[in-house]
Amino acid sequence: MKKIVSILLAISLLLIFFNANAGEGFIKPPTGWKAGVAIAMVTPDKPILMGGFAFRNKPSEGKLTELYVRALALEDAKGMQAVIVTFDLSGIRKDFSDKLRDRLLAKYNLSRAQIILNVSHTHSGPALSSPRSDTTTIAGKTVRDYTEQLANHVVDIVGQALNTMQPVKIYAGNGVSRFQVNRRNNIEYKLHLQSQYNGPNVYDVPVLKITKESGEILGILFSYACHASILRDYKLSGDYVAFAETELQNLYPHAISFFMQGAGGNQVGYPRRTDAAAKQHGKSLAAAVERVISEEMRELSPDLITSYSEVNLDPAKPLSTKEDLLKIISDSVTNSDFTRQRAAVSLEKLNKGEQPVNSYPYPVQVWKIGEQPVITMGGEPMVEYAFKFKQIFGQHTFVFGYSNDIVAYISTPLVLNEGGYEGSSTPFSGSKWAVNIETMIVQEVLKLAKQVHVPLAQLRGIDE
C-alpha cells in the first residue's frame, strides 16, 4: 500500500512540475484558432477618376458611402498564418498586387500562398494607377497618390490584424440570395417584361463566422457572385456591398464584415440603376447572412493549409503584327480602353525589338480552412467555374473570383464560341483566350487541391 501511495505522490509531483514549467521551454500542446481583424477607411478626400465604367470622362462628384479596406488574419493550432484583404475597388492589376504582396512578404513573412487580395468589384470606386498611367495631369497625380496611400493602408492594417490575434472559433455555412441575373442570357432592357430569367446562376451566400472565446462575433466573411454595378453615376460608393455591410454592422456592432466577390463575371443585380435598388440588394444579402449565422453552423477544426500557383494561359492565335496593333489602338468604338492599352504595350515592345508575351501568368489558390475548401481565381470568372468546382469538391466549396489580379474576363469554351463582351476580353491584343483555358485552370486547381488535401466530392462520401 505504501508503495502505491509513493508512486501516486511521485506522479502528482511530476504533473505539478510540468505545469509550473510549461512556459520554460516545454512544448505546449496545440490549442485552437486565432484571428485578428482590422479596417481602414480609404474614401478619397478629393475628386478622383473612377474605375468600372469606360464611359466616365471626369472625376468623382461626392460620395454615397464610405470605402474601406479590411484585413482578416488567421492562425491555426500549428501556428500557420494567412491573411485575407478585401477592397472596395473595381479591380487591382498585377503590378499593384505583386508589389503589395512583396511588401507583405518582406514585413510579415507572408508568402503569396498565405495572402488573398479580393475586390468587391464596385463600379463606383476610385481608379488605381499603373506603370503606363499618365501622371502628368492633376487627375493622374491624384490617382497615383491614392494608389500609394492605399498600399500603405493595407500594409498597416495587415500588421494590426496580425498583432491583435486572439483565440477564436470559426464556423462555416451557406445561405441563399436570388437577386443576380445572368446578363449573357437575358437582355437588361427587357427584364421588366419577363416573368422568369434564364440561367445559369449560383445563388449561394458562403459565410464564415468568427467568434471570440466569450461567444461574441469578431468577424463575418460572406460572399456573393454578382457584379457590384447597380449604380453608374459619379458618386463614390461600395454599391450593394456597402449597404450589406452596413446592415451587418447594425446587427453585429462589434464585428467587422468582409465581403468576397464570387465567380460573377456574367452575373448582374436586378433591379438596377437606383440607390434604392442597391440598398434593396444589400439588405437582401445581409438577411441571407443573418439567417446563416442565426442557425447552427459547421465548426471548423484549427487546421490551415494554403497553396498558390500561376498557370500560363495562352491566346487563341499568335499576337498581332504592327499593322494590326495600330488598327486596334485607333479603333475606340470597337475596342475598350483596356484592349487598346494592351495593344499599345505590345506595339511598344515590338518597336524595341522585343517579342510580346505569348502567355499570361494567371493566379489561382486553394486553401483548406479546417474542413472548408476555398478556391480563389483571378480576373472575372464566369459562374460556370463555380459550378465546376462545386461538382468536383462538393457543394459547400467556397469559390471566389476577383482575387489577386483582375486581368480580364475568364471565359469558358462555350462563351469563347458564342463571343460577345465577356468572350473577347483578354490581356492579349487582337486575340481571345485559347479554347483550353478552362482545362488549364481546372487542372491547376486540382493539383493545388491535392497539395492541401482537399478531397474530391465522391471520395468524401458526400451526396450533394
Angle CA(95)–CA(326)–CA(430) in degrees, nearest 5?
Answer: 65
- Cell numbers representing residue 224 in the block: 456573393
pLDDT of residue 24: 42
Amino acid 379 reads G
Q: Tell me the C-alpha to C-alpha distance, in Å, between residue 348 and each of 30, 320, 326, 353, 407.
A: 55, 13, 11, 9, 20
Average pLDDT over residues 87-115: 97
CA distance 88 to 41: 10
Tell me how crowded residue 417 is: count the other CB atoms within 10 A of its CB. 11
Q: CA quadruple 36, 39, 40, 42: dihedral positive or negative? A: positive
Average pLDDT over the chain, rounded to an integer: 89
Of 17-31, 207-221, 268-282, the least confident? 17-31
CB-CB contact of 46 with 142 (8 Å): yes
Domain spans of the chain? 33-304+366-387
Element holding 41 (H helix, E strand): strand 33-41
pLDDT of residue 324: 74
Q: Tell me the C-alpha to C-alpha distance, in Å, between residue 203 and each of 199, 206, 383.
A: 11, 10, 10
Task: Please state at what angle helix 138-163 crosses helix 94-108, rounded to 10 degrees.
Answer: 30
Q: Pick from 428, 389, 429: which is nearest to 412 by CA? A: 389
Of 9-18, 65-74, 359-368, 380-389, the least confident? 9-18
Q: Tell me the C-alpha to C-alpha distance, in Å, between residue 81 and each of 72, 168, 401.
A: 11, 14, 22
Asked whether residue 169 carries a pLDDT value surpassing 50, the answer given is yes
- Global pTM reads 0.88
Q: Which residue has the cell 446563416?
A: 292
